[in-house]
Each structure stands twice: as structure tokens, then as C-alpha cells.
């Protein structure tokens, strides 16, 4: 019973948060139903937007998510030379302007034009007619741009943009969701690499089942043949929860998935899984440290986030290459302990008793062309 009640209670809290957010969304959409002329007039301001490279901006709460405090936006901009700015989240509404590729945006919210559709279908085997119900809806970004405010299809927006400029290379990396709708299709992370010199896209990478809640550039000074390194985080805040990170490198002129990690837990038991990745980064003194997720800022004495730590476990004697070429990944998995009646045993504090069934540390070496597992 405790198992059922706890998971039910967790889901009840989750539903309350969603209902509250949807109520706010309704208020916003009601106020947004005005003419294009009114919207353009009300949006006029002295604010101008520009790309400030390397600056991370917090996104205003999106309209359809209860977990937006866990998201970030980095230098958003348009993805094509025909990105249409609509008066509302409706392709039939007035087009306020068609924006060129690379136009800086200020994202003030993200929403989905969510609809339930019905299609008459015939069973090929029996010939029986029935109705097939499915869901559709474009994902939209509400933006301010060039003195106007309107909606752009999310597939026309890079929500996270990183750049690298030196005497040899001049690249832009643009991240977006490769699927135009939610509910009907899962997330798909899409990364585009743009060459400023030739003014064309030169590479791309797609990762299925991966969202872009958080993206962050990682210091890669000292990495062999790597032009860019960043991490992308997807957060699923459901009963128990699941977080995933992938680390993307532009190495030897090609985008690639370097390594990944994830963690999950079950609210209704003591089952859990956690993986942690340490990457080599240079601190302010120039020393190379193995740091959780490569977040060198986490080593600051002013940072109190316990999850961001330096790798302290002993390194096996068989490993003789430098730390600057090393990546470490740990895995820990726990399972609930059950009594003879197949009920989970509880601790005095109300938590579930569990036992560790996996506790492993893996070492890898980046040799300048590939990531090689040592153990």
C-alpha cells in the first residue's frame, strides 16, 4: 500500500503543477488574441537584440511546462532565410516579417498549438470502419525581434547557439529540436554546423530521444583536434524522474557523440541508477582537473552545488597517459530489498531499503581521433 500511495501522491502533485501551468497558459493565450496591428503597436519599444557570444540567458517560463526553471537559452537566432514571424501561433495569422538566417532573437516563451484530431480509417483485414484519434500541434517560440513581438515555428529557431572564432576556423553551432511537434513524435536533438567563411552549413548531427533543456559549452583547451565541445541535458520530471546528458565534440572536422550519462529513480521503490562523467578541463591556474560534466565553474569556492566535484578516486597504475587525455565514467545501480511477502522493506525515516548491485568506474582515453575504453 505504501508503494501505491507514494507513487499516486507523486503523480497527484505533478498533475497539480501541470494544471496550474495550463491555467496560466490559457490566460496568456486569451490576452494574445488581438489583431496583428495591435500586437505590432504594443510590441514597439527601444529594445534591440544582439548576439553576445558566450553569454547564457535564462529563458522566461515556457507556456506549457511546469519545469522551465531547469531550462536555459543561449544566444537564440533564426535558422533560415525565410523564418516567418507570425502575429499569433497560427500559420494563417498575419506574417509580420520574414527574417533572415542568423537574426538574433529574444525568446519570451515556448508553447504548443496542441490539437486532438480524428481520422476515419478502415481495418484492412476485416473491412470494419473505425475512428483513429491522434494528436498534432506545432511547437512555437514567442519572441521579440527588431521592435516586434510574435511567434515563430520552433523548427526555425536555434535555442542554443555556440561559436568558435580564430585565425583558422570560424564556425557557428546551432541547436534545435528536429521534430516540429510534441506528443506525436519524440524529441530529436538536431545540431547544425555553419561555416562563416564559406557561408554554408558544413555538417549536422541528429540524436533521437534527446531534448535540449540545457546546453552548455565546455572548455576544451588542451584537447587534441577538437574545435568545439558542449553538453546537452534532457530533464524528464515525472514520477521518479530521469536526467540525461550527452557530450558532443566537433573533432577532426566532424560532429560526434563523445560519451553520455543518465540517472533515474523510481518513486515507488528503492530502485535507482546513476552515472557520472568527469572531463579534463583547465582551471584558472592552468592546471588540468577531472571535473564532473566538465563544469570548471563548479570548482569555485563560491559554488555550493554538491554534484559538481573533482575526481578524487585513485587512478589505476596501468594508466600512464596524462589526465588531459582522460575521461572517467562511474555507474552505480541500486535495487529495493523485499520481504517474504514481496513488499519493499522500509527504513525508519520512511525511505526504501536498497542494496547496491553495481558500482563500477570506467576509464577512457581521447587520443585525438577517437575515445578508447581502457578497462
Report residue 131's pLDDT band, with 50, 70 and 90 as the boundaries: confident
Q: Which domain holds residue 364?
A: 265-375
Region 20-37: mean pLDDT is 40
pLDDT of 237 = 63
pLDDT at 291 > cutoff 60: yes
pLDDT of 8 = 36
CA 138 to CA 115: how far, in whole Å? Answer: 9
Pick the more confident residue, 270 or 268. Answer: 270
Region 34-62: mean pLDDT is 36
pLDDT of 135 = 62
* Least-confidence region, from 224-238, 293-307, 336-350: 293-307
Sheet holding 200-208, edge to edge: 56-57, 73-74, 160-165, 170-177, 188-195, 200-208
Considering the entire predicted model, what is its pTM?
0.72
Q: What percent of the chain has pLDDT over 90?
A: 41
Contact criterion met (CB below 8 Å) for 161 and 173: yes
Q: Is residue 284 part of a domain?
A: yes
What is the distance between the terminal CA atoms of the chain, rounded to a whole angstrom? Answer: 43
Q: Is residue 176 part of a domain?
A: no
Q: Is residue 104 part of a domain?
A: no
pLDDT of 11 = 41
Q: Is residue 358 part of a domain?
A: yes
CB count within 10 Å of CB 141 equals 25
pLDDT of 298 = 53
| Strand pairing report for 200-208 and 160-165 | unpaired
Q: What is the H or E stretch that residue 154 is in?
A: none
CB count within 10 Å of CB 63 equals 23
Pick the more confident residue, 145 or 188. Answer: 145
Report residue 66's pLDDT band, with 50, 70 and 90 as the boundaries: very low
Q: Is residue 117 part of a domain?
A: no
Pick the more confident residue, 242 or 244. Answer: 244
Cell of 80: 533560415
Contact criterion met (CB below 8 Å) for 107 and 60: yes
pLDDT, tens digit, 9 for 90 and up, residues 88-99: 988 899 999 999
pLDDT of 13 = 40
In degrees, rounded to 5, the angle at the alpha carbon of residue 354 between the alpha carbons of residues 349 and 359 is 130
- Which residues face 122 on adjacent strands? 129
pLDDT of 112 = 72
- The SS3 call for residue 155 is helix
Q: What is the H or E stretch that residue 14 is in?
A: helix 2-32
Instruction: Tally the domains of the chain.
Output: 1
Q: Is residue 234 part of a domain?
A: no
pLDDT of 295 = 80
In our burial notation (b when 16+ CB lie closer than 10 A, e otherwise), range 27-61 reads eeeeebeeebeebbeebeeeeebebeeeeeeebeb
pLDDT, tens digit, 9 for 90 and up, residues 350-367: 889 999 999 999 999 999
- The SS3 call for residue 183 is coil
Pick the more confident residue, 16 or 260. Answer: 260
Q: What is the H or E stretch that residue 136 is in?
A: strand 129-136
Region 137-145: mean pLDDT is 87
CA 312 to CA 299: how far, in whole Å? Answer: 13
Average pLDDT over the chain reads 77
Contact criterion met (CB below 8 Å) for 308 and 281: no
Cell of 374: 581502457
Report residue 241's pLDDT band, with 50, 70 and 90 as the boundaries: low
CA 291 to CA 308: how far, in whole Å? Answer: 7
Q: Is residue 359 part of a domain?
A: yes
Closest alpha carbon to 85 in 77, 94, 76, 72: 94
CB count within 10 Å of CB 205 equals 17
Q: Phi-psi bin for 209: left (phi > 0), alpha (psi -120 to 50), beta?
A: left
Q: Is residue 271 part of a domain?
A: yes
Amino acid at each position: 500500500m505504501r508503494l501505491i500511495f507514494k507513487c499516486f501522491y507523486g503523480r497527484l502533485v505533478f498533475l497539480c503543477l501541470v494544471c496550474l501551468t495550463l491555467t496560466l497558459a490559457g490566460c496568456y493565450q486569451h490576452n494574445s488574441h488581438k489583431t496583428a496591428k495591435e500586437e505590432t503597436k504594443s510590441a514597439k519599444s527601444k529594445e534591440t537584440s544582439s548576439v553576445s557570444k558566450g553569454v547564457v540567458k535564462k529563458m522566461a517560463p515556457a507556456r506549457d511546462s511546469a519545469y522551465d526553471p531547469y531550462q536555459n537559452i543561449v544566444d537564440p537566432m533564426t535558422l533560415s532565410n525565410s523564418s516567418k514571424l507570425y502575429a499569433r501561433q497560427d500559420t494563417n495569422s498575419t506574417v509580420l516579417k520574414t527574417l533572415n538566417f542568423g537574426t538574433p532573437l529574444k525568446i519570451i516563451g515556448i508553447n504548443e498549438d496542441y490539437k486532438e484530431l480524428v481520422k476515419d480509417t478502415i481495418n484492412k483485414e476485416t473491412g470494419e470502419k473505425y475512428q483513429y484519434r491522434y494528436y498534432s500541434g506545432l511547437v512555437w517560440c514567442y519572441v521579440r525581434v527588431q521592435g516586434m513581438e510574435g511567434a515563430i515555428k520552433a523548427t526555425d529557431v536555434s535555442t542554443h547557439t555556440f561559436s568558435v572564432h580564430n585565425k583558422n576556423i570560424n564556425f557557428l553551432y546551432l541547436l534545435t529540436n528536429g521534430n516540429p511537434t510534441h506528443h506525436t513524435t519524440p524529441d530529436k536533438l538536431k545540431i547544425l554546423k555553419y561555416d562563416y567563411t564559406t557561408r554554408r552549413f558544413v555538417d549536422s548531427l541528429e540524436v533521437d530521444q534527446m531534448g535540449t533543456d540545457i546546453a552548455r559549452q565546455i572548455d576544451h583547451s588542451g584537447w587534441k583536434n577538437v574545435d568545439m565541445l558542449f553538453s546537452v541535458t534532457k530533464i524528464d520530471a515525472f514520477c521518479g524522474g530521469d536526467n540525461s546528458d550527452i557530450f558532443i565534440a566537433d573533432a577532426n572536422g566532424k560532429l560526434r557523440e563523445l560519451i553520455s550519462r543518465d540517472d533515474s529513480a523510481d518513486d515507488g521503490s528503492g530502485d535507482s541508477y546513476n552515472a557520472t562523467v568527469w572531463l579534463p578541463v583547465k582551471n584558472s591556474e592552468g592546471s588540468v582537473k577531472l571535473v564532473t560534466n566538465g563544469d570548471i565553474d563548479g570548482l569555485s569556492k563560491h559554488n555550493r552545488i554538491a554534484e559538481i566535484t573533482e575526481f578524487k578516486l585513485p587512478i589505476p597504475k596501468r594508466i600512464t597517459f596524462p589526465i588531459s587525455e582522460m575521461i572517467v565514467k562511474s555507474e552505480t545501480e541500486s535495487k529495493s530489498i523485499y520481504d517474504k511477502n514481496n513488499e519493499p522493506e522500509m527504513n525508519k525515516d520512511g525511505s526504501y531499503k536498497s542494496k547496491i548491485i553495481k558500482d563500477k568506474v570506467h576509464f577512457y582515453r581521447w587520443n585525438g581521433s577517437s575515445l578508447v575504453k581502457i578497462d
